[in-house]
Amino acid sequence: MAHKRTVTAIGISGDGLPAVVPGATVTLAAGAASAATVNPLGCGMVRVVSTVACHLAFAGAPTATTSSLYLPAEIAEYWAVDPAWKIAALRAGGQDGTVFITAAGEV
């Protein structure tokens, strides 16, 4: 019988962060116009980090706006997502960048 392991790491705030197994990574341009991933995410959790500050939207057909979720540059965040969703990005400043989206599975 296989046993599922649960491993957590303690963050600065003391909240637990689940340990994850990294999956495939896709990239997305963070430019002057909203751009979305071509395919649905296909997983329940993603790790997202960007080379520039940007705004993100998560939905079946997302469009990122300046009112969308803000992601600072070079800060990785983890989100629980619907596998059918896509992610859209829009740069927050004047410089284009790249958003790296990695599927994250449980240990």
Higher-pLDDT residue of 78 and 6 is: 78
pLDDT tens digits along 25-49: 999 999 999 999 999 999 999 999 9
pLDDT higher than 80, residue 8 = no
Indicate if the pLDDT at residue 100 is higher than 90. yes
Check: CB of residue 88 under 8 Å from CB of residue 62.
yes
This model's pTM is above 0.75: yes
